[in-house]
Amino acid sequence: MKNLVKGIIRKAANVALDKTTPLDTNVAEITPYTFRKTEFPRKRINLLVPSVNPEHVFGGISTALKFFEELAAKTGYDRRIILVDSPPTEEARKKYGTDYTFLEPEQDSTDRAQIVPYSNRYGRQIGVSDKDIFMFTGWWTAHCAQEACEEFEKKEGIAPRPFINFIQDFEPGFYPWSTRYLLAEASYKNRYPQIAIFNTGLLRDYFKLNGFRFQHEYAFEPVLNASLKEELYKAGDTLDKKKQILLYGRPGTERNAFNLIVAALKKWVWMQKDIGEWEIYSAGEQHEDVDLGNGKVIHSVGKLTLKGYADILKESYAGISLMASPHPSYPPLEMSVFEVKVITNTFANKDLKDFNDNIISLDNISPNCVSARLMEICDGYTPKVPHRIVNKDYCENADIFSFISEIKELL
C-alpha cells in the first residue's frame, strides 16, 4: 500500500512538471507611454485618467476631473485629457464633444481643449512640448508618465515641469505585499518634483506618518454632493425613520469589508429582540441578496440615483460603512448628516468620531463588536429624529480647491 501511494505521488509530480503553467510576468497596467517632441504655444495641463465614459466617471475620476477643470479655468492654461484604459464611447464623445476636440495620438493641434484616446498605444507616440504639465490620479498613470518623462529627457533634453499627483488613497494598500504594491509606492518617490494634492487632510497626515514627502503638499476636504445637499436642506426639523439599516455594500471592493459586515449581521439577527421589524438594504454595488438567517435578508439596491440615495438616507435609522484605508470615504459622512446612526471604523490616524454625534467610530471592528454596537443603536430606535445642520463646512463649502492660486505659481 505504501509503495502504491509513493507511486501515485511520483506520477502526479511528473504530470505537474510536464504541464507547468507558463509564467505571466506582465503587469498590464504599466504598458509604456511614449512621447515625441512637438511645439506648442501655451502651457497645457495633461490629465491622465482611465476613462471618461459615463459608467466610469464617479468617485475618484469625477473628483479629479472637477479639480482639473477648475485648475485650467483659474490658471488659463490649455487642457488635454489622455485616456489610458478605455476608448471613449459614443455617449462620451457626445458629452465632451462640445467642449473638447477628440484627436488621435499622432495628431498635433493647437486647440485649447483636447481629448486623446491612448488605450491602444503600442507603437504610438503622443506629442509633448516643454510647456506640458502632467497630472495623474492613479499609481499606474503616475508610473507610466514618470517613466516616459525620464526617457523623453534622455532623448530630447526636456525635463518635465512639476507633476501634479492627485492622491485619493494610499494605493499600495489596494494590493498584498507584491509587485503592484511596490510600483504604487514607488510612484510617490519619483526623483522629479511633485505637487501632491491629497483627498483629505487625514490622508495627507497618513503619508507624513509613513515617511512620504513631496516638494509641495495640499489637501482638500470632502463636501456634500450638491443634489444631496438640496434634499438635505429641504428636510424639516425632524426626519421620519423606519426600522431600517443601510449598508455601504461593495463586495467587489475589498477595502469596504463587505464580508465583515455580513459576518456581524449574521450575529446581530439572533441578538435583536424585534428583529422581525427590521429591514436591511445594501447600496453602492449591485449584488445578490444575502440570507442572514432568522428570516432576515440583505436586499441589494445597487447604485442608486442621487434622489433615490437621498430618499433611503432620510428614512434609514442605522447604517454601516467600513473602509480599510486612511481615507474616510464619503458614505459615513453622507449618512451622518441625514441623521443615520452609522457604524464605521478607525484606521491608523483616521477616527471620524468628532465629525458629528451620529458617527460611531469603532477601533475594534470584529463581528462581535459591530453586532453588539448595532444592537445598542437599534434598541434606541425612535420613529422621529431631530434634524439640524451641524456640519456647515461639509455641506456648504463651495471653494474646496482654494489653494489653486498657489499652485499656479509653481507651474
User: Does a structural domain hold residue 89?
Assistant: yes
303/388 same-domain check: yes
User: Residue 183: what are its φ and ψ, rounded to 5°?
Assistant: -65, -40
pLDDT of res. 14: 54
Amino acid at 253: T
Q: Are 243 and 270 in contact (CB under 8 A)?
A: no
216/362 same-domain check: no
User: Does a structural domain hold residue 213?
Assistant: yes
How would residue 21 be classed by pLDDT, with cut points 50, 70 and 90? confident
Instruction: Locate 322 and state its grid cell.
Output: 467600513
38/184 same-domain check: yes
Q: Are 315 and 249 in contact (CB under 8 A)?
A: no
Does position 64 have pLDDT exceeding 80, yes or no? yes
Q: Tell me: the pLDDT tens digits for 262-316?
A: 999 999 999 999 999 999 999 999 999 999 999 999 999 999 999 999 999 999 9
User: Does a structural domain hold residue 105?
Assistant: yes
Nearest partner of 303 among 265, 252, 349, judged by Cα: 252
Chain centroid, CA 163 distance in Å: 20
171/256 same-domain check: no
pLDDT of res. 7: 54
54/95 same-domain check: yes
Other CB atoms closer than 10 Å to residue 308's CB: what's the count?
13
pLDDT of res. 165: 98
User: Does a structural domain hold residue 6?
Assistant: no
How would residue 1 be classed by pLDDT, with cut points 50, 70 and 90? very low
pLDDT of res. 8: 46
51/159 same-domain check: yes
Number of domains in the chain: 2
Distance, CA of 232 to CA of 227 (rounded, Å): 9
Q: Which of 166, 189, 220 lies at the terminal end of a domain, its last residue? A: 220
User: Does a structural domain hold residue 306?
Assistant: yes
Amino acid at 95: K
Query: How does the average pLDDT of the chain come out, rounded?
Result: 94
Pairing of strands 359-362, 132-136: unpaired
118/140 same-domain check: yes
164/262 same-domain check: no
Q: Which domain holds residue 340?
A: 226-395
- State the average pLDDT over residues 333-357: 98
Q: Are 112 and 125 in contact (CB under 8 A)?
A: no
How would residue 56 be classed by pLDDT, with cut points 50, 70 and 90? confident
43/140 same-domain check: yes
What CATH number did the domain enclosing 129 receive?
3.40.50.11090
Alpha helices, DSSP H only, in 251-343? 258-268, 306-315, 331-337
pTM score: 0.91
User: Does a structural domain hold residue 7?
Assistant: no
232/281 same-domain check: yes
212/353 same-domain check: no
User: Does a structural domain hold residue 175?
Assistant: yes
H/E run at residue 94: helix 90-96
pLDDT of res. 4: 46
232/215 same-domain check: no
What CATH number did the domain enclosing 254 receive?
3.40.50.2000
Rg of the chain on CA atoms, in Å: 25
User: Does a structural domain hold residue 238?
Assistant: yes
Residues 6+ apart with CB under 8 A from 38: 108, 127, 128, 129
